[in-house]
Amino acid sequence: MAKVAFLGLGVMGYPMAGHLQAAGHDVTVFNRTAAKAEAWVAQHGGSMAATPREAAEGAEFVMACVGNDDDLRMVCTGENGAFNGMSDSAIFVDHTTVSAKVTRELYDAGATRGIAFVDAPISGGQAGAENAVLSIMCGGDQAAYDAAEPIMQVYSKICRRIGDSGAGQMTKMCNQIAIAGLVQGLSEALHFAEKAGLDGRSVVEVISQGAAGSWQMANRYETMLDDHFDHGFAVDWMRKDLGICLDTANETGASLPVTALVDQFYKDVQKLGGGRWDTSSLFKRLRALD
């Protein structure tokens, strides 16, 4: 069993760190709001630290799941950042969805200190984290990935190295691009069914068994029809992720017209007060247009 630090106890990090402790690893947690770390220790055991640096001292693996590029820089290279507490044999695994640019920046910063850095963004939402069935897409050196993979397997359904540093984040962008189009398509199908006087549940029972079927359809159509939008990944975070996708597309020359359009639809959802609604709330936007 390994000594592990876990930085960030949001809706994803909290259960992920819990799975590590339950698997027998020695886990020290850090969270910007200390009360969350205190609650985690009361529930799971382990220990908590006042700073990322303190959490990382003596750890073989440091896992992070924070908010954005700036948050990640802070927990890595800030005055009390984890890099300042890590040994040169430790491995930093970042589960945050951030830009490939900051990933490569921190990979290089770690390399100068002898610290390996693996970008390992996750997909599967809150339910995936709670049930330990996340999909993890990774970038970084093969040896570092091989060492960290058994730790990540504790809370994953699939964990795979895609390529060098940044490849994990680029793959997560593909994931978010695909989800944006799928959720909009499902929303429009349900909206069309309602306007046509059809029973949405009956429609989905049939079409989900054919080529139209998807995870979004199987897991979200009922809550969408019931006007419930509190099932995980929030619109505010999706817009952050799609912004990264669109910025990267501008850099690489990729064309993302549907993604750009859906990003604006999510902006409409925010204007409706739905920044914390889950991403399936694109359907609520269509209903609001009636």
Q: Which of 3, 36, 157, 172 is catalytic?
A: 172
Q: Report the alpha-carbon distance of residue 150 to residue 99 in Å, rounded.
A: 25
What's at 59, amino acid-wise?
A: A
Contact, 127 vs 157, CB < 8 A? no
Q: Report the alpha-carbon distance of residue 49 to residue 267 in Å, rounded.
A: 37
- 172 among known catalytic residues: yes
Q: Taking every pair of C-alpha atoms in the chain, what is the biggest distance, in angstroms?
A: 64
Q: 271 exposed, middle or buried (CB, 10 Å; 0-12, 13-18, 19+)?
A: exposed
Q: Report the alpha-carbon distance of residue 155 to residue 76 in Å, rounded.
A: 23
Dihedral angle of Cα 217, 222, 227, 229, to the nearest 10 degrees: -60
Q: Report the alpha-carbon distance of residue 132 to residue 134 in Å, rounded.
A: 6
Contact, 6 vs 63, CB < 8 A? yes
Q: Which residues are catalytic?
A: 172
